[in-house]
Amino acid sequence: MTASLKTAAHLPLALARGRVASLRSSVVDVWFATGLPELNTQLKVVGEQPIIMEVVSQVDEHIVRCIALTPTSGLARGSEVINTGHPIEVPVGDRLLGRVFDVFGHAIDGKEPVEGGEWRSIHQAPPPITRQSTQSEILTTGIKAIDLLAPLERGGKAGLFGGAGVGKTVLITEMIHNMVSQHEGISLFCGIGERNREAEELYQEMQDAGVLDNTVMLFGQMNEPPGARLRVGHAALTMAEYFRDDAQLDVLLLVDNVFRFIQAGQEVSGLMGRLPSRVGYQPTLGTELSQFQERITNTGTGAITSVQAVYVPADDFTDPAAVHAFGHLSASIVLSRKRASEGLYPALDPLQSNSKMLSPHIVGDRHYQTARAVRSTLAAYEDLKDIIAMLGIEELSERDRQTVRQARRLERFLTQPFFSTEQFTGKAGKRVPLEETLAGCDRILNDEFADYSEQALYMIGTVSEAATKSLADSTEAALSASPDSETDAETNGVPQHQEG
């Protein structure tokens, strides 16, 4: 083997060729006579199905250890390996909008491939402190429950917690829609360890909702090697950084799921033979997650704001993966299955959701006091539910009954019709300014809507719509009670209650 490899000595570094020395699952050792590749360099095995690897460590002066980002089927000892001389790169620019990519920047949506133009390395340093903005700014979403109780930080990270079927995807598509229309920004969805079915469904839903043209999607799917799942987040960040720094736009980065990123790193670490750390996680867990999260920030030209779905293993919030992830989050949005079953959408749990931004010196004293009053009222109602279930609401004091009335109206006011669900519900979507949300909650807490039915506050935008909806409901009720309606009912054999 040595004699055949020495022929590569005269080649330029980027074209130097090596050969596979050993192969263990996705870990490949490659022998080079000269021109040892640097860390993170992309190596390639040319064939019918090209095999792409990334250098993870340099074993000695001739051997590098790599992790394969594609299946290694057909690879064998002695296979020729090409040193590309550069790290894994992805395309950047406006041409990405409306497209779906994999970790290598290859289009996987069945449309024409993206070729030429500018390509950038997926490994970038976070912007230096001197370029980062130190101001704490709120990013309004137009979604009442989030803006009031768990406001997002511009350039910050929010965690989205929730099981299947509680509305995570709908909330994500609505935030993308509002980002495009309200902030003239770009949305970028990154699926780490996504199921193929979920990726297809999300693509179709975004297309139906009309937000795909201002969205870029990347997927490192569940059936791909751990190396691809580990790097797809970095590829998404490289694309997002172009829109922030070059196009000078605000970017909404949606990541699903951060735990799968950590899990991919754990698999790679195990394959590399590193000693595991606590609970079997990789010893580099904190470093890997920090390198990823620190690139999500705001600068003088724009901001990357991230909403990240976070899976908590076995609901154990002391798990190292959860602990490290929570350390980077500035807001937590918790979706409740119970509220979803009651038809309260978005199904945000007002008592478990919170944000570090909900502080008087950031959001202002009025917002802070209103949010506290809303949360206090809803918490008191939660405590009273057991008594109501056992004894009935009539057994409560007048003050407690007032609290229940306010809480039930607040719950319904914090629901909202979404633009992304118009084709399913038939209700026009609403985007509500923060000032209108605060005004509505203040008026409900002051009992201005005590005479209105709870239904009048359900699925509306601003609180002023309650009067219009209440009038419409009254008119409909009056029409249903008209003599013509009674005649129709009698004809159909329905007995009518008559006075005197």
Strand ranges, E, within 271-326: 304-309
Nearest alpha-carbon partner for 190 in 222, 235, 124: 235
Nearest alpha-carbon partner for 305 in 313, 293, 290: 293
Q: How far apart are CA 62 and CA 459, in angstroms?
A: 66
Nearest alpha-carbon partner for 228 in 15, 21, 72, 37: 72
Q: How far apart are CA 498 and CA 484, in angstroms?
A: 14
CA distances from 66 to 52, 60, 82, 155, 235 (A): 10, 13, 13, 34, 18
38 catalytic per annotation: no
385 catalytic per annotation: no
Q: Which residues of 252-261 are buried (b: 16+ CB within 10 A; e: fewer)?
A: bbbbbbbbbb
Q: In the structure encoding, which two tokens stand for residue 452, read together? A: 């209105």
Q: In the structure encoding, which two tokens stand for residue 120, read together? A: 């950038």
Q: Which of 154, 168, 231, 375 is catalytic?
A: 168
Q: Which amino acid does the sequence have at 405?
A: R
Q: Which amino acid does the sequence have at 375?
A: R
φ, ψ for residue 190, nearest 5 deg: -120, 115
φ, ψ for residue 305, nearest 5 deg: -105, 130
Place of tokens 């605060």: 438
Chain center to CA of 119: 25
What torsion do the CA atoms of 160, 163, 166, 172 make, to the nearest 10 degrees? 30
Strand 89-91, strand 80-87: pairing: unpaired
157 catalytic per annotation: no
Q: How far apart are CA 7 and CA 317, in angstroms?
A: 56
Q: How far apart are CA 425 and CA 297, in angstroms?
A: 36
Q: How far apart are CA 143 and CA 367, in angstroms?
A: 15
Residues with catalytic roles: 168, 194-195
